[in-house]
Amino acid sequence: MKRNGILNSHISKVLSDLGHTDMIAIGDAGLPVPEGVLKIDVALKLGTPSFREVVELIADDMVVERVIVAEETREGNPVALQFITEKFGKDAIDASVSHEQFKALTRQVKAVIRTGEATPYANCILQSGVHFG
């Protein structure tokens, strides 16, 4: 049994397999998952676990160089955008895509991690970086 880090074996495997520029998505309970994309469902009930909890755990285990959020997040969920900005830094955030473009981008991710979050636009795509040079 692991001593530290993420215990969910599916998430742990996906993170271990990521290469530079690979992406994963973390979404609220309503984010659609494209056919053929791995869905890792950690939702237990509405609100549990929260988007924030899952992002914080993933960020502890993953080198993130870029975070994509839908531009509608600015108005639709400023709390989530503020959290993401504080967590990853303003320079890492790309909020230039529409929600429809965001959903289309999820076809390119290695996995979508579905949370129990029940607020709108609590979604992000994390692009993997490297921890050297």
- 18-73 pLDDT, tens digit per residue, is 999 999 999 999 999 999 999 999 999 999 999 999 999 999 999 999 999 999 99
Catalytic residue annotation:
20
pLDDT in the model for residue 54: 98
Full set of structural domains in the chain with CATH = 9-128 (3.40.1650.10)
4 falls in which pLDDT band (50, 70, 90)?
A: confident
Answer yes or no: is 60 a known binding residue. no
CA geometry: angle 62, 67, 68, nearest 5 deg: 140
Q: Are strands 23-27 and 124-128 parallel, antiparallel or unpaired?
A: antiparallel
Answer yes or no: is 122 a known binding residue. yes
Q: What is the mean pLDDT of the chain?
A: 96
The side-by-side arrangement of strands in the sheet containing 124-128 is 38-41, 111-114, 23-27, 124-128, 64-70, 93-97
In eight-state DSSP terms, residue 79 is H
pLDDT in the model for residue 133: 63
Report residue 77 as tokens. 């969920």
Answer yes or no: is 121 a known binding residue. yes
